[in-house]
Every structure is written in C-alpha cells, then in structure tokens.
C-alpha cells in the first residue's frame, strides 16, 4: 500500500525503517510531546514492531517519505473498533518540522482511514500545551471533545473531513490496498 500526495507518500512501516523512527522518538525535541517521555531502548522498539507485525490487529502503521524517498516521519491508524479508530503514533524528522510535509502526511493518513478503510470517526490524544500539533489537527477538521490529565481528546468524523479532502489543491493517488 502506498498513498501519494505532491510532496510526500505514505507506505507500510518496515523493519528497515525502525532506525529512523527510533532516532526521531528519542530525539530531545520529540520526547517532551509523548505521554511517556522516557527514551526507548532499541530492543523494546524492535519488540513493539515485531509484536505488531505478528498480531492480527486491524490498522496500519505508515512510514512517511518525501516524493524523492527521503525519510519524513511515521503515522498510524490503530485500535480499530467497528467504524472508529485512533490515529497517532506520529513522529517526524525534527529538522523537517514546520515545512508542511507532515500536514500532507496527516491528510494522506486520514484519507486512508476514511476513504480506504471506510471509517466513520477517528480520534486522538495530544498533550494539551502542544500548540503546534493542536493547530495542525484543528486545521484538518479535528475538534476537541475533552481534556483528561493534561491530554486533549480530539475527534474527526468522515463528514467533517470530506469537505476538507474535496478542497485539497492536489490529487491523492493510491497503489495497493489496506
């Protein structure tokens, strides 16, 4: 499965991508935005990936690349429950933040959730004072539904996403299926 926009594409996360995701997750500029800010150990990171690959879990873990193939980040659709799921496990290469690449990757992830997986609703949690992330999520249609222990709960329905997707100034192409 590969989904492409003009500047980035998302594809299934592969074991070869783990060195990037490990480095991004443990970067000091990233750690403070995670519920658990403790740096990961390599073995636990690989075990997490192996456990996911071996499970019958529905959902997708995506690796984000630039259109030229350079690593950009990671996103996921997981905890699928009927026509609802969580999106998250967002990571991005710190040096590329603020360039708009991850906004496009998020739009592609939401396209996968709503248009390919036919979900009706996705939700996420974000640290309350992560203003950049909150602005990003609101810009693609998420609404805040609550706050618990310093985390905002945010929700997006297929109905709210549809007009945003339809107004995109670019085409989305897909290869393969979820």
Note the pLDDT tens digit of each residue in 87-97. 998 989 888 88
Q: 127 in helix, strand or coil? A: strand
Total domains in the chain come to 1
| 102 CB-near residues (< 8 Å, 6+ apart) | 64, 72, 73, 90, 92, 96, 136
pTM for the full predicted model: 0.93
Q: What is the rounded end-to-end Cα distance, in angstroms, of the chain?
A: 6
Confidence of residue 57 (pLDDT cuts 50, 70, 90): low
Q: What angle do CA 88, 75, 91 make, to 5 degrees?
A: 85
CATH code of the domain covering residue 104: 3.40.630.30
14 within domain boundaries: yes
Residue 146 CA to residue 114 CA, distance in Å, equals: 23
76-135 pLDDT, tens digit each: 999 999 999 999 989 898 888 889 899 999 999 999 999 999 999 999 999 999 999 999
Domain that holds residue 31: 2-118+169-175
71 within domain boundaries: yes
């Amino acid at each position: 499965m590969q989904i492409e926009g003009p500047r980035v594409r998302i594809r299934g996360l592969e074991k070869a991508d783990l060195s990037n995701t490990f480095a991004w997750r443990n970067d000091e500029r990233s750690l403070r935005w995670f519920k658990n800010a403790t740096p990961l150990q390599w073995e636990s990171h690989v075990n997490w990936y192996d456990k996911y690959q071996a499970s019958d879990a529905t959902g997708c873990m995506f690796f984000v690349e630039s259109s030229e193939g350079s690593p950009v980040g990671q996103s996921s659709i997981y905890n699928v429950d009927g026509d609802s799921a969580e999106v998250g496990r967002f990571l991005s290469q710190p040096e590329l933040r603020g360039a708009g690449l991850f906004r496009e990757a998020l739009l592609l992830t939401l396209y996968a959730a709503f248009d390919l997986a036919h979900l009706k609703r996705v939700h996420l949690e974000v640290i309350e004072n992560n203003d950049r992330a909150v602005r990003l999520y609101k810009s693609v249609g998420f609404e805040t539904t609550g706050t618990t222990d310093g985390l905002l709960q945010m929700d997006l329905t297929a109905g709210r996403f549809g007009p945003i997707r339809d107004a995109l100034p670019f085409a989305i192409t897909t290869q393969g299926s979820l």
